[in-house]
Structure 1
């Protein structure tokens, strides 16, 4: 990753594993703005953001199905983030995100009692966020949904809707109705996003042939271009670290 961009990721406490993918921060330590492009990764992100030119804000980024412009990361700006798994929508955030597919929503000041002071210490931010999420953990959960997402993440999306339906004993039409109502995306598209995300780990290592469950090289190239806007070879080069997710994966 660009030496001016500092990035750190922490895994969540085990008690949050059904709902939280990770905690992370991104700090542009230079005076210069950085142009970046985001890639879909199957997560939704809650951002705390501040820069010298912009006031503190809290933003929820919905599910993504295509590359998107982070636009410019301002000089000396700082982002602390919680990356959620989709189950968090119903059980932690408790409000559908279908309306912000490939979009974002500003959250009210004081959401979860977060303030700009929480940007002073990343570890303390993680502790505070963990306590808050633990206080919201459901006493009961639909076992079909828990098992459904467990299988989706275990297979990194390389599983058919039919297989998932049979394994969790839940009608595929009902599953898709749930996905579209809650997340604004079909189950099949979501699995394809996760498979694309998994392929980035290989592309980051210069492996430009399908390692996941793609039918052939042509299918692989087509899917990568659909989600990133470029073919695997160009994505791997990642000129000027513009694809920020790929840069972060290379750093891990």
Structure 2
């Protein structure tokens, strides 16, 4: 998809427990692009505008299924992709109601304006400073330990084992996940393991390298979260699976 320009910036170390990345997507074509967004375990705050749509701010919750989307012609999108701790400690409210959906935010949310779309690096600096100002003075060490273990293992963890390591019962963990994010810890970890397989799938490695018991489980997981087989993902017909079209920049 040569008409799509993609760029990604990593956050400062101070923000890495809360922010996955900052990124931009620019459709330089005069035609809209229909794409499929795959579940990747992130919560996204978007700033966007196009030749056919006015400036808007959008917050998208976790996706647990593939979602078809249209990228407007001559459009620019800047985004902040958040990790789960940001829900409680940066936004300060649950996002269970945003599972597989999004909401339009009021103009001026967090002080973001259309002018912020003029320069990506300036946007990243402004966003970083803003998020840094929202960092909590204190956090629940059990929760942060849990999240760190989940992300370090790319979802390849079992709730019973990790609950003992962080001294937090599996029942309480799942209650927290469902209340805050709208899905269980296992369902979220399945998404992270799926996301971790993107590079190997793009390279044509259709057998699981790690995180899956065998090829049967791997194929089943991919079909559930992508709606297609690993082979179709690798082929990426018409570049419709956007994370595969932009993977070289990740």
Distance in 1 (CA, whole Å) between partners of 2:204 and 2:172 is 40
Match of 1:125 in 2: 123
Q: Match of 2:145, SS?
A: helix
For residues 38-82 of structure 1, the C-alpha deviation after alignment (integer angstroms, 9 at most, x for no partner) is 000010000001011111110000001010112x11110010000
Q: Is 1:191 the counterpart of 2:207 in the alignment?
A: no
Question: Unaligned 5+ residue runs, structure 2?
Answer: none
| 1:101 positional shift | 0.3
Q: What is the CA–CA distance in structure 2 between the aligned matches of 1:242 and 1:230, rounded to whole Å?
A: 12
The residue aligned with 2:83 is 85
Q: SS of 1:59's equivalent? A: strand
**Corresponding position: 1:40 with 2:39:** yes
| Partner secondary structure for residue 156 of structure 1 | coil
Shift, 1:107, TM fit = 0.9
- Residue 54 of structure 1 is matched in structure 2 by 53
**Matched-pair contact (CA < 8 Å) for 1:204–1:250:** no
- CA offsets 1:16-58 (integer angstroms, 9 cap, x no match): 0110000000000011111100000010000001011111110
CA drift at 1:251 = 4.1
- Match in the other structure for 1:6: 5
Partner of 1:21: 20
TM-score calculated relative to the size of structure 1: 0.98
In the alignment, what sits opposite 1:166?
164
Q: Unpaired runs of 5+ in structure 1?
A: none
Name 1:241's counterpart in structure 2: 239
- 1:139-176 Cα offsets, whole Å, 9 max, x none, are 10000011100000010101101111011010000000
Residue pair 1:205, 1:250 contacting (<8 A) in 2 also: no
- Please state whether the residue corresponding to 1:42 is helix, strand or coil: coil
**Mean Cα deviation higher: 57-66 or 240-249:** 240-249
Query: C-alpha displacement at 1:212, in angstroms?
Result: 2.0
SS at match of 2:146: helix
Which segments of structure 1 move beyond 3 Å, counting only runs of 4 or more?
Answer: none
* TM-score normalised according to structure 2 size: 0.99
Q: Deviations over 1:121-143 (max 9, x none)?
A: 00000000000000000010000
